[in-house]
Structure 1
Amino acid sequence: MDAVFDALAHPIRRALLDRLRETDGQTLTELERDQPLTRFGVMKHLGVLERAHLIVTRKVGREKLHYLNPVPLQQVADRWISRYAAPFARTLSDLSHAVDEGAKIMSASGPKHVYEHFLRAAPEAVWAILTDDAKTPLWQHFNMTSTTDWRVGGAITFFVEGRPMIVGEILELAPPTRLVHSFSARWSPDVAGDPPSRVTWELSAIPGGTKLTLTHDNFGGDTATSRAVTGGWPESLSRLKTLVETGTPFLFPVAHAG
């Protein structure tokens, strides 16, 4: 976590994160605008933020877009804040959500929300938990359960107390590296009318572990779903990391999902 604190220590880097909070998915040209340093200087600061995994980048056409990755901030919350504020554990994701809350929607062709996580386990071990419905409540937001028909075209459904919260279809299934499914929110009337979006899980082997990249995109615009999901993914990914690495779930109190 030293890299995270080092990255946040500089005002220019905090200003760049503020820019991405206001409008996610910006190019270098957009981010360097009005900054009191050269283009090369901005690139160096962005490199520090990327190495700390506070931002991730994606090539869309000929452009390189920069996105916030709030997962490291969730790890800070999990490590220190929860110990002293256990009664408020349900709101710990606000630390990461505060970074990207209110983020504007970029072009429909680009990724919407991109998260990176590094786990001390082989891709096969991560995949085994990710695709085991019996383990879903040990890491998913709201301790959701799931039922899945594990084949392309099969249904995937997440529940809270027997009520469907998310319904979807398996679009791609390539063990143990890639899982893509559609995502239709059902937890409240304001999201129920949104079109299906897309969730892509990518697992890449790295020395000593796995790089997990989750991309949630294809929302079809600035929807209630696109704004709501930023609160749940950082928690879920942090809990998944804990479960994979320790074999012990990071349990949250059961909360009402709406």
Structure 2
Amino acid sequence: MEQVFRALGDPTRRALLDALLQEDGQTLSSLVSRHSMTRPAVAKHLAILEEAGLVAVARRGREKHHFLNVVPIREIHDRWVTKYTETWASGLAELKRDLERTMEKVFEIYIRTTPERLWEAITDPQIRAKYHFGASVHSEWTPGSAFTMVHPGSEGPLAEGENIVVEPPTRLVQSMRTLWSEAAEEQGTTRVTWEIEPVGDSCRLTVTHDQLRGDAPPELYGGWPMILSGLKTWLETGETLTTPGSQMYGPS
């Protein structure tokens, strides 16, 4: 969190985050054109934001696209805000809605665990329910196999889809059709990619939710920060988060 607060303490870096808030997935050239700074200066600030986890980078051919990663903001909320007052929750919910405007969302988090244990936490139904709002995912976890997300409080499945790529313990690509509401179901099929990379004694987990329609409702993808924070908390401490939204069924 020290890196996050240090990164947020600079007005230029906050301006870069604001630029990504307005238009996510920008290249370095695009961000340079919005600020009266040299290209190396913008690149240096982006590197600090990336190191703090506030910006995630995805390569598209020769270009690097920068995405606002709201997971550290979610962690600050879980650590500091909910301890003192619940009145902040509504304001942060509005901020979360403002952060989610694009066709592709990239979320990144570092977890002190092994790739094998992290893979197990993603694919084991009982573990998944501990941090995914009580919902579990069932599958054979082979390429081309189907998966189903269920919740004990729901009459039917909350989501279903296909495992396109299954490469334990580093990569899982899934097509997903959400069924927990009419608005979500109308959006059709989206794609979720889980990528696990060992970093020292930890793992960097990157979740990319793409193939989203421009009018996709926030309930379709907005819960990932809370889900990933819950995953990190459970793997590192064995405890579960009790933050607002724990009654929700899926990424909403």
Which amino acid counterpart does residue 181 of structure 2 have in structure 1? S
Structure 2 residue matching 1:4: 3-state secondary structure:
helix
Q: How many corresponding residue pairs?
A: 247
How far the C-alpha of 1:238 sits from its partner, in A, is 0.3
| CA 121–169 in structure 1, closer or farther in 2 if over 3 Å, else same | same
Structure 1 residue matching 2:172: 3-state secondary structure:
strand
How far the C-alpha of 1:212 sits from its partner, in A, is 0.9
Q: Does structure 1 residue 217 correspond to structure 2 residue 210? A: yes
Query: Using the alignment, how far apart are the partners of 2:220 and 2:6 within structure 1?
Result: 28
Name 2:145's counterpart in structure 1.
154
Aligned-pair identity (%): 37
Unaligned runs of 5+ in 2: none
| Aligned residue among 108, 111, 128 for 1:136 | 128
Structure 1 residue matching 2:3: 3-state secondary structure:
helix
How far the C-alpha of 1:196 sits from its partner, in A, is 0.9
How far the C-alpha of 1:152 sits from its partner, in A, is 2.1
How far the C-alpha of 1:156 sits from its partner, in A, is 1.5
Query: Using the alignment, how far apart are the partners of 1:78 and 1:95 within structure 2?
Result: 16
Give me the TM-score of the superposition, normalised by structure 2: 0.88
Which amino acid counterpart does residue 110 of structure 2 have in structure 1? F
Q: Deviations for 1:182-240, whole angstroms, at most 9, x for unmatched residues?
A: 11111222221223111111111121111111111123x31425x43442000000000
Structure 2 residue matching 1:82: 3-state secondary structure:
helix
How far the C-alpha of 1:48 sits from its partner, in A, is 1.1
Q: Deviations for 1:22-66, whole angstroms, at most 9, x for unmatched residues?
A: 110011111112413222211111111111110011111222111
When the two chains are superposed, the root-mean-square deviation of aligned CA atoms in Å is 2.3
Structure 1 residue matching 2:166: 3-state secondary structure:
strand
| CA 34–212 in structure 1, closer or farther in 2 if over 3 Å, else same | closer
| CA 92–123 in structure 1, closer or farther in 2 if over 3 Å, else same | farther
Name 2:76's counterpart in structure 1.
76
Query: Using the alignment, how far apart are the partners of 2:249 and 2:172 within structure 1?
Result: 28
Q: Does structure 1 residue 114 correspond to structure 2 residue 113? A: no
| Aligned residue among 127, 131, 137 for 2:119 | 127
Which amino acid counterpart does residue 122 of structure 2 have in structure 1? L
Which amino acid counterpart does residue 147 of structure 1 have in structure 2? H
Structure 2 residue matching 1:164: 3-state secondary structure:
coil
Query: Using the alignment, how far apart are the partners of 1:153 and 1:88 within structure 2?
Result: 43
Give me the TM-score of the superposition, normalised by structure 1: 0.87
Asked if the contact 2:53/2:69 (under 8 Å) is kept, the reply is: yes
Asked if the contact 2:184/2:220 (under 8 Å) is kept, the reply is: no
| Aligned residue among 235, 241, 246 for 2:232 | 241
Name 1:17's counterpart in structure 2.
17
